[in-house]
Amino acid sequence: MPTRVMLEKYADVILRVCLRFERGQRLIIMPYLTMEEAQPEAFMLIQIITEQAYKAGARYVHIQWHDQQIEGLRLLHADTLEDWPAWESEGILSWYDEGAARIAIAGQNPDGLSRVSPERFGQAQRYSAQFTTPLLERITSDALKWTLANVPVRGWARRVYPDLSEAEALEKLWDAIFEICRVTAADPLAAWEDHVAELGRRNSYMTRKQYAALHYTAPGTDLTIGLPKGHLWLGGFARLSDGRPYIGNIPIEEIFTVPHREQVNGVVSFSLPLAAEGNIVEGATLRFEAGRVVEVTARTGRETLERWLAVDDNARYLGELALVPNSSSVARMRTLFYDGLYDENAASHLAIGTAYKNCLSGGAQMTDAAFLAAGGNISAQHLDFMVGSGQMNIDGILEDGSAEPVMRAGEWAFA
Amino acid sequence: MPTRVMLEKYADVILRVCLRFERGQRLIIMPYLTMEEAQPEAFMLIQIITEQAYKAGARYVHIQWHDQQIEGLRLLHADTLEDWPAWESEGILSWYDEGAARIAIAGQNPDGLSRVSPERFGQAQRYSAQFTTPLLERITSDALKWTLANVPVRGWARRVYPDLSEAEALEKLWDAIFEICRVTAADPLAAWEDHVAELGRRNSYMTRKQYAALHYTAPGTDLTIGLPKGHLWLGGFARLSDGRPYIGNIPIEEIFTVPHREQVNGVVSFSLPLAAEGNIVEGATLRFEAGRVVEVTARTGRETLERWLAVDDNARYLGELALVPNSSSVARMRTLFYDGLYDENAASHLAIGTAYKNCLSGGAQMTDAAFLAAGGNISAQHLDFMVGSGQMNIDGILEDGSAEPVMRAGEWAFA
């Protein structure tokens, strides 16, 4: 199990490198932890972050614990799903608006809510959304500094490494997280500075190029994705409105932008299984015509995939494309983590559903209608699926139709 | 370690027997848990209580986690101690006032705050008191149903059983808690009904007698404690203003009332060590004259004891006397638990400092001045110390000076 020294390095990466916590700030730590399955080391990490934050001048560190199993019991058994501690959501919001920073610590059993029916889940979400939506809006609009990092819990470790003993699986998952998050680097802070600087350079290059489209080829894939005018490549540092930087989640190995919702044509094959909501989709292909998914195949989970595409009208359109080299710190593990954050940083991916307005110049100020007209997508869905591999080539297509290499055999083709 | 079946029985005792939880209520569970030292079983108990509460018609179960180690880091390192999530205290208060019930689950390392200076502790308490005092007032005035129960954590188990391995100590502490709290009884609910009925009978008997004084004799003890007119013996069921009963903490083996602050004379010897705030007092005696402690001796910890008596002027006067038979479920363990709740239920005890107004007929409506004039005591201090043993005799002294046996050799002397 991890030593205190390793946990201190991980805390350092989270608090200093990613959150760039500032003296005098309040800090809200939100452990999304399956408590019964957590190890003492998970709680120790939270303590270490708390201690480091106070030593760095935190005004107050508030821990808002979330236990998915406890929430699951409500979803399974409560007479009513229409009650909520509104004062808690409102209180957290008031602290966000007074300048608090937020760290989420995720350690959930991927099967934790598998007994809950989608109907009950949806009913509860619809009621609580009136209280939680303002919190999410602050996060997605960079109104506060926030960072998300993971810790192993037993159920997650068992799922990732089913052939190991529980203790071995936990140990291996800690090791994987530390390796992926550069905690094992000789100088983790320097390694992170180099890494985000590289992501920044690649964002600048790609944004400057303003490719009209990207052309993806790989076994089972021949897809052209148009890019709207004024698209911005992001990834690495996020920024508050006054320019102060932070890193919103670790790992972060991707750069991403917004596709033009009506300019996607061709076929794309999933390169990794897609695990979400306790379901798994494997060996899938999507065929697009004028941006819309018109054909779906899958070795397993085709119906699940169709259901995800049917959430609303725009769930059949792309909302994100992200480039991740095949040598990324996550991809090197060759492991399916059953965790969106880890898995999406393992390979170049696309997402059906809603797009990020801040990936379009001036997009953050656009109405939904204006964003749609500019080529963005708006949907209640946002689901990432992995398409990249060591066999993928990607060309950037300029306005004049000429092509330049962006990725070759899964790796960057420019400096 | 405890089986799920035993944890379910314990949850049943807490939720049904003690809290008497009602359909449609909200439930606030406050685990005062040293998370890093807790076992999965502690979290499992909280889950089981949550599940049982929802199945019993709970409107919402909110878990407000308190980790003493996290609070300790604030007390040790924060630049300012003058900040607080006021919205949380106010939110909990609003739920109390809308009819919520409360379960506190205590599992703390007794040495958890030993590195914090009394000055910093006091400073933090003074600031947060403006937010937390209304919550405490609701609890002490029976404005809501509340129950406090314990779970083992590693630091506590090590302290209680220093000669055992950690795993053995935890196992033995779970066993002790289950035994003491009648969870091991063939029918725990029936055992509790019998027990609180007996406490009720003894309260009625003692209240009806209206002894003018109690006279304690034991090796090193010869003490007479006057009782004010209209004193009430309590213990067992507490009651909301509309009469609905609940049990405020488990274990509960005592019946207690208010002494007359100016009518205490003689010498009393501690029968058990007194552990509080990381300090220990052993082999102590107190000599009282006209209610006031005029002489203190102790084999160890005399200065600590003097400090506790010097909190304010009235800290040198008694505020509580409680009778616990030497065969009580806690006393039978012959174990110092380093936990106020457990240790005070192990032996007849007294407390210096503030008295409970509800132990005097009409006392709850009295001003502080009126309560003092009636023989009650008001102080910022309330510290229990154990005086009972198998060698203690207690007589009840009637108005005419005649004596009747109340306890003999540590056991009840009336039916």
pLDDT at residue A61 above 90? yes
Q: How confident is the model at residue A311 (pLDDT cuts 50, 70, 90)?
A: confident
The confidence score (pLDDT) of residue A378 equals 93
CB contact under 8 A, A43 and B67: yes
Burial class (CB in 10 A: 0-12, 13-18, 19+), A310: exposed
Q: Which of B388, B407, B406 is nearest to B396 (CA)?
A: B406
Size of interface A-B (CB pairs under 8 A): 113
Alpha carbon distance A249, A251 (integer Å) = 6
- Interface contact B323, partner A, CB < 8 A: no
Q: How far is A158 from chain B, CA to nearest CA, in Å?
A: 16
* Cα–Cα distance, B113 to A319 (Å, whole number): 51
Are the C-beta atoms of residues B194 and B187 closer than 8 Å to each other? no
The pLDDT, as a whole number, for residue A189 is 92
Instruction: Flag whether residue B208 sits within 8 Å of chain A, measured between CB atoms.
Output: no
Q: What is the mean pLDDT of residues A53-65?
A: 97
Any chain B CB within 8 A of the CB of A50? yes
Residue A119: band (very low, low, confident or very high) from pLDDT cuts 50, 70, 90: confident
Q: How far is A184 from chain B (nearest CA, A)?
A: 24
Provide the shortest C-alpha distance from residue B35 to chain A (in Å). 6
pLDDT score of B142 more than 90: no
A289 sits in the region (left: phi over 0; alpha: psi -120 to 50; else beta) called beta
Q: Which of B54, B77, B87 sits opposite A91 (nearest CB)?
A: B87
pLDDT tens digit string along B49-67?
999 999 999 999 999 999 9
Report how far residue B187's alpha carbon sits from residue B197's, in angstroms, rounded to the nearest whole number.
16
Q: Which residue in A26, A51, A79 is closest to B77 by CB distance?
A: A51
The backbone torsions φ and ψ at residue B140, rounded to the nearest 5 degrees and listed phi first, read -75, -20
Cβ contact, residue pair B40, A43, below 8 Å? no
Task: Return d(Cα A20, Cα A193) in angstroms, integer.
Answer: 12
The residue type at B292:
R
Mind listing the pLDDT tens digit for each residue in B369-395? 999 999 999 988 888 999 999 999 999
Nearest Cβ partner of A73 from B54, B88, B91? B54
Looking at this protein, which amino acid is placed at residue B59?
A: R
CB contact, 8 Å: B95 with chain A? Answer: yes
B74 to chain A, any CB pair closer than 8 A? The answer is: yes
Read off the pLDDT band of A112 (50, 70, 90).
Answer: confident
| A93 close to B (CB below 8 A) | no
**B80 contact residues in A (CB cutoff 8 A):** 59
Q: How far is CA A184 from CA A24, A46, A188, B116, B217, in A?
A: 30, 19, 7, 34, 68
pLDDT computed for residue A216 by the predictor: 98
Chain A residues with beta carbon closer than 8 angstroms to that of B35: 35, 43, 46
CATH fold, domain A4-180, is: Thermophilic metalloprotease-like (3.40.1830)
Look at residue A191 and tell me whether its pLDDT is greater than 80.
Answer: yes
What is the structure's pLDDT at B139? 87
**Taking CB atoms and an 8 Å cutoff, what residues of chain A touch B74?**
50, 54, 60-61
Whether residues A43 and B35 touch (CB distance < 8 A) is answered with yes
pLDDT of A111 over the 80 cut: no
Order of strands across the sheet with B61-63? B61-63, B27-33, B101-107, B146-150
Nearest CA in chain B to A78: B54
The shortest CB-CB distance from B78 to any of A40, A58, A78 is to A58
Residue A345 DSSP symbol: T
- Please tell me the distance in Å from B396's CA to the nearest CA on chain A: 51
Residues forming beta bridges with residue B269, ordered by sequence position: B285
Q: Which uninterrupted H or E stretch holds B244?
A: none
A286-295, A306-315, A400-409: range with lowest mean pLDDT: A306-315
Q: Summarize the confidence of residues B167-174 as an average pLDDT.
A: 97
The pLDDT value recorded for residue A398 is 97
Residue A276: band (very low, low, confident or very high) from pLDDT cuts 50, 70, 90: confident
Q: Where in chain A is the domain with CATH 3.40.1830.10?
A: 4-180
Residue in A closest to B51 by C-alpha: A73
Which pTM does this prediction carry?
Answer: 0.90
Which residues of chain B neighbour A69 with C-beta distances below 8 Å?
47
Tokens of B112: 């958890």
Provide ipTM, 2 decimals: 0.89
B51 touches chain A (CB under 8 A): yes
Contacts of A40 in chain B (CB under 8 A): 36-37
Neighbours of B98 (CB within 10 A): 11
Q: Which residues of B fall within a CB distance of 8 Å from A94?
A: 87
pLDDT digits (tens, 9 = 90+) for B287-300: 999 999 999 999 99
Residue B277 has pLDDT above 80, yes or no: no
Average pLDDT estimate for A295-307: 93
Q: Verify whether the Cβ–Cβ distance A59 to B80 is below 8 Å.
A: yes
| Per-residue pLDDT tens over the stretch A171-190 | 999 999 999 999 999 999 99
Phi-psi region of A214 (alpha: psi -120 to 50; beta: other; left: phi over 0): beta
Write out pLDDT tens, residues B11-23: 999 999 999 999 9
- Interface probe with A: pick from B36, B44, B45, B113, most Cβ of A within 10 Å: B36
Tell me what percent of chain B is helix, strand and coil, each rounded to the nearest 5.
35, 25, 40
Alpha-helical segments (H) within A302-415: 302-309, 340-344, 368-373
Residues of B in contact with A23 (CB under 8 A): 79
| Residue A109 confidence (pLDDT) | 83
Identify the DSSP state of B358.
G
Give contacts of A32 with chain B, Cβ < 8 Å: none
Which residue on chain A is closest to B33 by alpha carbon? A43
pLDDT at B75 over 80: yes
Residue A51 with chain B: CB contacts under 8 Å: 73, 77
Contacts of B367 (CB under 8 A, 6+ apart): none
| Mean of pLDDT over chain A | 94
- Compare all CA atoms of chain A with the CA of B34 and give the residue at the minimum distance: A43
Rg (CA), chain B: 21
- Rounded Cα distance between A32 and B256, Å, is 44
What pLDDT is attached to residue B136?
A: 86
Which chain B positions have a beta carbon within 8 Å of A24's beta carbon? Answer: 79
Q: What's the pLDDT score for residue A53?
A: 98
Mean pLDDT to the nearest integer, A303-315: 90
Q: What is the pLDDT of residues A343-375, one digit of tens each?
A: 989 999 999 999 999 899 999 889 999 999 999
Give B90's contacts in chain A (Cβ within 8 Å): 87
**Percent of chain B residues past pLDDT 70, beyond the cut:** 100
Determine which of B30, B34, B50 to mutate to test the interface with A (most A C-beta atoms within 10 Å). Answer: B50
B93-140: pLDDT as tens digits: 999 999 999 999 999 887 778 788 878 988 998 899 899 989 988 887
pLDDT digits 0-9 by tens, A195-248 = 999 999 999 999 999 999 999 999 999 999 999 999 999 999 999 989 999 999
The alpha carbon of residue A30 is apart from the nearest alpha carbon of chain B, in Å, by 12
Task: Give the whole-number percent of chain A exceeding pLDDT 70.
Answer: 100
Q: Which residue of A has its CA nearest to B67?
A: A63
Three-class DSSP category at B122: helix
A313 vs A113: which has the higher pLDDT = A313
A22 in contact with B, Cβ within 8 Å: no
